[in-house]
Each structure stands twice: as C-alpha cells, then as structure tokens.
Structure 1
Amino acid sequence: MSDQSRIEPGSCFCGKIALEARGEPFWINYDHDDDCRKAIGSPLTVWIGYRLDQIVFTRGTPRTFSKTPDVTRTFCQDCGSSISYSDEGLLDECWLTIGFMDHPERFEPQVHAFWSMKLPWMQFADNLPRVDRYSRERDLKIGFPDQRR
C-alpha cells in the first residue's frame, strides 16, 4: 500500500461517477497515440498513472469498453466522460485521464509518449523527453496493443 496522504478527486461531466486518487501518481505523460486520440476525442491526452490500490470510486460505477485484447477503457455511460485506461502489459497500473480530474493543474507531465504520432500542427515549447513508443516499461510477454488487434 502506498502513502496515501495526497488525495486528488476526480469526477465526470455529469457528476454521476467520482473517485479519489490517493497518494502520489507514479508517472504522468502526454500521449500522442492515435488509438487514445480516437477514444478520448482529443488531439492528445495526459495520462496520470496510479497503482490500482490508490484509486477508490466514491460515486457510481464506470462502464468498460475494450477494442483491443487485454486493454480496458472506462467512461461514464451517461455523459461519456473518459475515465481510465488499463493494459495487461502494465500490471497494477491504472491511467486516469487528466480531463476527469477535478484539479488538472496539479499534474505536470514528465514525458511525451508516441511522439512519432504527434499531429504536425501541435507545437510544444517544453524540454521534456520525447519517445516514439510507450514511456513505461511493459511486460513483453503480453506485447504491445497494436500487435493484439
């Protein structure tokens, strides 16, 4: 169990689903991946990584969807707000979308993932690392989502 002194609330657009993320996130990254872009409906997202035991739903139950084997996305079935992403190749990790968090200004990204898929008209003035794939180590036995379609 991680230190849970920091508590960050998150909620969907209609308010039917809410959670608390307890403790520090272990990783925060910009994601330029085309799959996530399509699922989120945005040119990119910022994913906030927490361990599963750090997330407690305080209201409602999200709906799940999976297009790719071993990948699960959650969202509010009423308003459509994207909530999370989990992947069997990233065990015990739950990735919350920054738009779901009530105080997104508290989560500063550490890296750009899938930089090779960045839309050409997006410009960034930061000096963060830019990687062409995942910015986290994966379980290679599971493989990558684009290999499981």
Structure 2
Amino acid sequence: MTETARTGGCQCGAVRFRIRGELGRSSICHCRMCQKQFGNFFGAFVAVPRDGVEWIREEPSYFQSSVNIARGFCQRCGTPMTFRSPEGLEITTGAFDDRSDLAPTIQINHAARLPWVDTIFHAPAHDNPDYYARQESIISFQHPDEETANWPEHGLRL
C-alpha cells in the first residue's frame, strides 16, 4: 500500500513541511490566544502524526504563548504555522497545499467565540467582476501550493 504524503508551508516558502501518516482531527479554536495568533475570528488546525512531520526547508520559530503551548510561525513572512502542546503538534489548516478535505470536525473553546461569528456567512458576497479582474493582474510573490525545487523563483531573496 502506498503512503500518501501531505505538503504545505508558509506564504513565502521559507518554511515547508511534508507529512506522512494519517492526519488527526481538524478543528477551529475560538480562544483569545488563537484570535491573536491569526489576527482573525478563530484559529484553524489539523493534528498531525507525532513522528510524521518532516521540515523540508526551514523550521518554524516559536513563541511560548502559555505554560504548555508554543505557537510556530515563519520568521521571514510571519505566517502562523503550528500549535504545539503536550498532546502533540497541530499545523494550521491554511498552511496545507491541499486543504479541500480538511473541513473542521470540532470547535474548541466555543463559549469564547465572538458573538457574531455564527452569522458571518450570512453577509452579502462581494461580486464585482471588475474587482476580480484587477486582482488577476497582481504579481504575487507567494509560494505556490506545490513543491518547488528552487524558491523564490522570482529572484527576490528570502
């Protein structure tokens, strides 16, 4: 049987990972620390096998956010990457190259959620074709969602 590898990394491509083995639960956490780590409404994570993560470029830097928790990030671009606790390592959902099958299966610290978070998708969608056409003309320096032999390919220094 062939073992599937999952890959991912930060926005600039300096921190990249490969995971072998079965992924654990996919969750979102509403705690204030996750809100601050992501600068957003909640944090989204996937539990990874204890010995199944290989850092194939740089490893994340860590901030000790509490006695038992360290939060990993790319020191170069600031992308939130990991949540490390005595129970193991979780990697941010958005850091995976393919996120299509990583829907959250549980919400953590649900009582701490922002009071309006349950209704955010009821807001109208911004659907202006001109806006999206302008977005397509942007030259992105973001690492693509795939492995690359050399990065950055655009000549900027990491």
TM-score normalised by length of structure 1: 0.74
Structure number with greater Rg is 2
Task: Report runs of 4+ in structure 1 exceeding 2 Å deviation.
Answer: none
**Match for residue 90 of structure 2?**
95
Q: Percent identity?
A: 24
Deviation for aligned residue 1:70? 2.4
Tell me if the contact between 1:48 and 1:107 (Cα under 8 Å) persists in the aligned partners: yes
Residue deviations 1:12-64 (CA, integer Å, cap 9, x gap):
00011100121221211121111111112111122100122111111112111
Q: Secondary structure at the match of 1:21?
A: strand
Q: Secondary structure at the match of 2:100?
A: helix
Q: Distance in 1 between matches of 2:2 and 2:85?
A: 23
**Match for residue 115 of structure 2?**
120
Tell me if the contact between 2:21 and 2:49 (Cα under 8 Å) persists in the aligned partners: no
**Match for residue 62 of structure 2?**
64
Question: Gapped runs of 5+ residues in structure 2?
Answer: 120-158
Q: Secondary structure at the match of 1:39?
A: helix
> Cα RMSD over matched residues?
1.9
**Match for residue 82 of structure 1?**
80
